[in-house]
Amino acid sequence: MRAIVLRRPAPIGSAPLALADIPTPEPAPGQVRIRVRACGLCHTDLHVIEGELPLPKLPLIPGHQIVGTVDSLGPGTSRFAIGERVGVPWLYRTCGTCGYCRRGLENLCDNARFTGYHADGGYAQYVVVHEAYAYRLPPVLSDVETAPLLCAGVIGYRALRLSEAQSGGTLGLYGFGASAHIVIQIARHWGCRVSVFTRSAGHQALARTLGAEWVGRAEDPCPAPLDSAIIFAPAGGLVPLALKALRKGGTLALAGIHMSAIPQMDYSLLYGERTLRSVANSTRQDVEELLSLAPLAPLRTEVQTFPLDQANEALALLKAGRIQGAGVLTVV
């Protein structure tokens, strides 16, 4: 099969990903094989490729927002039939027995494995996954439109819940890429009033189109105190700015898996029972809830597509903030 392979981490500008012909994987017991049709691009892919996260395996096929069809069943599988359209997100497998898993916090499992990180991902024609960690997809969106829901959407949905956003409340979104442009649709569906903080004129225009009441830069004064806020950009310097805009008793959620250092700040920014919390991965329940919500909101994704062999170029655009909405690789 054709696949995009990372053999050693390096800056994306040096084109570290290479197109290769490698053996097609066979599903093990309990697994299904998926013929990949689309795979979303994610900032986590960049953190992996550029070595900002320690790599548990090399060579590696990145990618964890996978849409395709089941084309082979491993022994003992029963969840899907050949030809069903399914999706695969970041969470590849958990132990199912630790205290976190037993408490419904499988996203915190110390033995969790992740797609495109511990296991080969979706920058390829085929991928294998345990059937319990693949999902039937609503028919309302095409393959490329669905792919961003499987990480950008799911992590954004979890971050929105953990921010304690409420109907009628004010919500701030810092950064307006793949995740935030989905989150604003959910927040508006819930009845939240949304302010968006982003430097990009294109992202500002998209935010207004999707229902933002106010749009500006992170340094700009917010027109009203925020009840909740989410930081999507991996910039620790945004934390004190967001806390300054947050009313007492509000919650700030940090949605990224990697962030630059948070600067030293005065305790008064946190005082007043403000909550600062990270968002780590997602659960299978998060995925199921988001996919159920997608046709009800209804969610629509702004997508820019690239062929598989342009993965380096597409990720360079993502890093530069030059993708409007979400980037997706198409796999033929």
Q: What is the pLDDT of residues 129-143, one digit of tens each?
A: 999 999 999 998 999
For residues 13 and 95, state if they share a domain: yes
- Identify whether residues 143 and 288 lie together within a single domain: yes
- The residue among 241, 258, 278 that closes a domain is 278
Residue-range definition of the domain harbouring residue 117? 2-151+281-330
**Pair 157, 271 in one domain:** yes
Note whether 235 and 273 are same-domain residues. yes
pLDDT of residue 71: 97
Query: Alpha-carbon distance 169 to 120, whole Å?
Result: 41
- For residue range 183-235, list pLDDT tens digits in order: 999 999 999 999 999 999 999 999 999 999 999 999 999 899 999 999 999 99
Give the number of other CB atoms < 10 A from CB of residue 92: 21
- Give the CATH number for residue 215: 3.40.50.720
Output the pLDDT for position 97: 97
Residues 6 or more apart in contact with residue 110 via CB below 8 angstroms: 95, 98, 100
Q: pLDDT value at position 245? A: 97
Q: How confident is the model at residue 37 (pLDDT cuts 50, 70, 90)?
A: very high
pLDDT at 130: 98
Instruction: Check whether residue 95 and residue 127 sit in a common domain.
Output: yes
Q: Tell me: do 158 and 147 sit in the same domain.
A: no
Percent of the chain with pLDDT over 90: 98
Number of domains in the chain: 2
**Helix or strand or coil: residue 135?**
strand
Quick one: 222 and 265 in the same domain?
yes
Q: Kindly report the backbone phi and psi dihedral angles of residue 51, in degrees, each rounded to the nearest multiple of 5, phi listed first.
A: 80, 15
Final residue in a domain of this structure, among 263, 278, 293: 278
Q: What is the mean pLDDT of the chain?
A: 97
- pLDDT of 243-280, one tens digit each? 999 999 999 999 989 899 999 999 999 999 999 999 99
The answer for residues whose C-beta is within 8 angstroms of residue 75's C-beta and 6 or more apart is: 29, 30
Residue with tokens 């442009």: 181
Same domain, 19 and 161: no
**Cβ atoms 40, 328 nearer than 8 A:** yes
Query: Is residue 137 located within the same domain as residue 31?
Result: yes
* Predicted pLDDT at 174: 98
Pair 182, 234 in one domain: yes
Residue-wise pLDDT tens digits, 69-107: 999 999 999 999 999 999 999 999 999 999 999 999 999
Residue 205, φ and ψ in degrees, nearest 5 = -65, -40
pLDDT computed for residue 181 by the predictor: 96
pLDDT at 277: 98
- Indicate which CATH number applies to the domain containing 96: 3.90.180.10
Show Cβ contacts of residue 255 under 8 Å, excluding neighbours closer than 6 positions: 155, 156, 159, 179, 230, 231, 232, 279
Q: Are residues 50 and 177 in the same domain?
A: no
Given this model, what pLDDT does residue 141 score? 93
69 with 169, same domain: the answer is: no
